[in-house]
Structure 1
Amino acid sequence: MKRQAASTHTQTTTIRTPTFLLELPLVVNPGQAKHLRAHLEAARQLYNAMLSLGQRRLRCMRADPAWQEARSLSRTHKAQRAASFSALRTAHGFTEAAFHQAAKGLRVGWIAEHIEAVLAQTLASRAYRALNRVCLGNARRVRFKSRGRGFGSIENKRNDTGLRFVIQPPEKGNAGFLLWNGDRFPALINWQDEVVCHGLKHRIKYARLLQRPASSKRAAGADTEGDHYVVQLVLEGVPHHKPKHIIGKSIVGGDLGPSTLALVPQEGEASLQVFCAELAPDARVIRRLQRQMDRQRRATNPEHYDEKGRIRKLGSKKRPWKQSKRYQATRRRKATKEHKLAAHRKSLHGRKVHEVLALGKTIILEKISYKAWQRQFGTSVGLRAPGMFVALLKRTAVPPLGVASTGGTLVARPHTHHGTEPVVSWLWHKGQEAPLRVLASVCLRCGSCATRSLLSVSCRLS
């Protein structure tokens, strides 16, 4: 009777709802910071143990003769290949459910005092996703978390047990706290901020704790080790939409380069401008900090350099590097410069996304590999991050992928111009060696004249 009841049981499908994030800083005293570091150290060791176990299972699965038989199947037989690989994963325990079961045996001793069962499952899922990328060929290896780098984040699966965030009712003060292992960490909530008020009105799916390095140990909110803690609330719903961010109705064509952005709306004037022109990295200060770090590293580790100042080759042997406190302080100063530059770039990306959406909600871009630009235009791509901008534009404009619910569409078309019609280019300044930015183009079919970027966008719209 039990077997028959199990066969007739139907699994309920999980309903996916839109999600957005809200980040709040935490107030942590020295005693609580010590507890958090112990919890994160236990999470690091459990995560590394899951990676080690998963690597052994992956090697055994690939060494199985059935693995080669499954690979030899034709890709046209998709169902047969999927069934073969699924049977291999189940037989060797390389599934997410098997990792959850293995986490029960690894969460023992002192680790069980710091990590609850639900948090252990999230760590097991995280290790499985990392190893699955190696199994599918999307990554070459997994990275174990070292003690020096630490474990900077941990999250829960729900908000009713273990690591959770609670908000007091209005009659008790409207304060918010992160609860974990008997500690209560107050959150700094600005109820005058409309974005924060909008987020806290929604249901909390789960909470995520983040440990981030501060600029120094004396920075505001930093603990004795120079770290500060924030909580990310994963909320159900859509984020707050400010009234000043209007959404256009027309179609917009865009041509994004490593350092330029051309926009041609159907209604309005075309524009060609430098992408993220306000970014101004202080290269001189960063270069001096890098030289200072190199001098400090050489002074602390003279045995690793030869008489000409070159690093000695040790083959596959790992070279232990000693770090002085002044070196760590200099490295923290350089990291702070990079963090400020990244925050400024992210702000400029968000501003530009709203400017594009104000022109129109249907956006047409050129289909191109932004990762390939890293080899050709490494400096410009590393500074302006055009691929990150396109990802933010897609996440903001397209409802199935994002959360803004603008009803927009992002189309990536290959580079074509009226089918096979040629494009003739000439120099505005004849007889001179002009750079590429002053090149103009004319279409032999439509007769339009513009710069190359604007012409390619306008013809992509037609």
Structure 2
Amino acid sequence: MGRAKTPSFVTEIPLRVSPSEERILLSRLEAGRQVYNACLGESLRRLNLLRQSKAYQAACKLPCGPKGSPQVKARGKAFAAVRATHGFSEFSLHTYVVPLSRSWIGEHLDSVTLQTVATRAYRAVNDYFLGKRGRPRFKGYNQMDSLEAKSDQAGIRWRTDHVEWFGLNLKAVIPPNDPVIAHGL
């Protein structure tokens, strides 16, 4: 998925939460952290199996040609076949989190949020695999600071003056005459 062509930005708005709502939020962030670590471990395991396979090593030895040549296409197909064989894809991690939604984690996180956490873990490992970043690290206790949904229509939803998330309504603290916040909304 490519970057959006339209300019975008993030507006942070503080929430007014009670102690019980804060406890629920912290437990959901902890559940998200555990799902992230599970997906990260699974994708690193699949990556190691992929790198050890003979098909991957044979694909690495295929000749590289100029961009758009048949050699490049054959090499790309070989790598895609190895990825599919070992289940190293974003959508295979989405199926990996389905049983997690039927456990205690399903009481804290909805399926859309689970899929987004799996996507975050996959992208970290894929960037490591492609040489763009270093080896991703597991998150420790209280290190998961944010969770997101795929869109504003499912999972975590913004309404006019509050956030709705899986049966929890959190009121936003919106200053009445702040032009930056008004533009962000």
Q: Same fold (TM over 0.5)?
A: yes
The yes-or-no answer on 1:56 pairing with 2:45 is yes
SS state at 1:66 partner: helix
Equivalent position to 2:183, from 188, 193, 198: 198
SS state at 1:164 partner: strand
Instruction: Write out per-residue CA displacement over residues 18-42 of structure 1, whole angstroms, 9 at most, x where no aligned residue.
Output: 2222111111111111000110111
The yes-or-no answer on 1:26 pairing with 2:34 is no
Instruction: Give the equivalent residue in structure 1 for 2:114.
Output: 120
Task: Tell me, yes or no, if the aligned pair for 1:163 and 1:179 is still in contact at 8 Å.
Answer: yes
The yes-or-no answer on 1:40 pairing with 2:29 is yes
Instruction: Give the equivalent residue in structure 2 for 1:86.
Output: 80
CA distance in 1, matches of 2:184, 2:5: 15
CA distance in 1, matches of 2:163, 2:38: 27
C-alpha displacement of 1:134: 1.8
TM-score w.r.t. length of structure 2: 0.89
The yes-or-no answer on 1:67 pairing with 2:56 is yes
C-alpha displacement of 1:140: 3.6
SS state at 1:86 partner: helix
Instruction: Give the equivalent residue in structure 2 for 1:97.
Output: 91
Instruction: Give the equivalent residue in structure 1 for 2:171.
Output: 186
SS state at 2:57 partner: helix
SS state at 1:186 partner: strand
Unpaired segments of 5 or more residues in structure 2? 66-70
Instruction: Write out per-residue CA displacement over residues 51-94 of structure 1, whole angstroms, 9 at most, x where no aligned residue.
Output: 11111111111111011111112221321221111111111110
SS state at 1:111 partner: helix
Structure number with greater CO (CA < 8 Å, separation at least 6) is 2
CA distance in 2, matches of 1:89, 1:142: 19
Task: Tell me, yes or no, if the aligned pair for 1:46 and 1:107 is still in contact at 8 Å.
Answer: no
Instruction: Write out per-residue CA displacement over residues 167-221 of structure 1, whole angstroms, 9 at most, x where no aligned residue.
Output: 0xxxxxxxx1011122211111123122222222xxxxxxxxxxxxxxxxxxxxx
Superposed CA RMSD in Å reads 1.8
CA distance in 2, matches of 1:126, 1:14: 15
SS state at 1:24 partner: coil
Instruction: Give the equivalent residue in structure 2 for 1:137.
Output: 131
Equivalent position to 2:149, from 142, 153, 156: 156
Instruction: Give the equivalent residue in structure 1 for 2:158.
Output: 165
Which has the higher mean CA deviation after the structures are superposed, 48-57 or 14-23?
Answer: 14-23
Instruction: Write out per-residue CA displacement over residues 354-375 of structure 1, whole angstroms, 9 at most, x where no aligned residue.
Output: xxxxxxxxxxxxxxxxxxxxxx
Structure with the larger helix share: 2
Unpaired segments of 5 or more residues in structure 1? 1-12, 168-175, 201-462
Structure 2 vs 1, CA of residues 164 and 94 (structure 1 numbering), >3 Å: closer, same or farther?
same
Structure 2 vs 1, CA of residues 37 and 141 (structure 1 numbering), >3 Å: closer, same or farther?
same
CA distance in 1, matches of 2:17, 2:124: 31
CA distance in 2, matches of 1:30, 1:126: 29
C-alpha displacement of 1:139: 3.1
Identity of aligned residues (%): 38
SS state at 2:138 partner: coil
CA distance in 1, matches of 2:57, 2:3: 37
C-alpha displacement of 1:43: 0.7
CA distance in 2, matches of 1:136, 1:15: 18
Structure with the larger strand share: 1
C-alpha displacement of 1:17: 4.8
Q: Which amino acid aligns with 2:171?
A: P
Which has the higher mean CA deviation after the structures are superposed, 62-71 or 14-23?
Answer: 14-23
Instruction: Give the equivalent residue in structure 1 for 2:68.
Output: none
CA distance in 2, matches of 1:14, 1:151: 25
C-alpha displacement of 1:100: 1.0
Task: Tell me, yes or no, if the aligned pair for 1:49 and 1:106 is still in contact at 8 Å.
Answer: no
CA distance in 2, matches of 1:155, 1:43: 10
SS state at 2:97 partner: helix
Instruction: Write out per-residue CA displacement over residues 271-303 of structure 1, whole angstroms, 9 at most, x where no aligned residue.
Output: xxxxxxxxxxxxxxxxxxxxxxxxxxxxxxxxx
